[in-house]
Amino acid sequence: MTIIYKYEVRLGLTKLTMPLGADLLCVHMQPNHDLFFLWARIDTNEPRVDYTIRSYATGEEIPDDLDEQLVHISTTLTGQYVWHFFEDISPC
């Protein structure tokens, strides 16, 4: 069954377990929670695999060894900060 599900993510590095092939839609801070959440379209019949999510603030340096391994998910604004969230597809 395909559903849209939300997962809590932290600034910096977050490890999540989601179904294989999850479609990572966006990241935003949900009102009244002061937490960031990732929304993903998932197939609940798929096996679970590990995903790595990284965030960087505008102006923050992205390490050269990661730059080519990051797939942009979403950019979100919180007050004076702008955060950019990526899936890290580096081999384990």
Q: Which residues contact 21 (CB under 8 A, 6 or more apart)?
A: 43, 46
Burial class (CB in 10 A: 0-12, 13-18, 19+), 28: middle
Q: pLDDT per residue over 4-34, tens digit each? A: 999 999 999 999 999 999 999 999 998 777 8
Backbone angles phi, psi at 61, to 5 degrees: -70, 135
pTM, rounded to two decimals:
0.93
Kindly list the distances between the CA atom of residue 92 and the CA atoms of 9, 44, 50, 80, in Å, as whole numbers in the listed order. 20, 24, 10, 34
Q: In the 8-state DSSP scheme, what is residue 46?
A: S
Q: pLDDT per residue over 37-67, tens digit each? A: 999 999 999 999 999 999 999 999 999 989 8
What is the structure's pLDDT at 79?
84
CA geometry: angle at 70 spanning 68 and 72, to 5°? 130
What is the Cα–Cα distance from 31 to 50, expressed in whole angstroms? Answer: 27
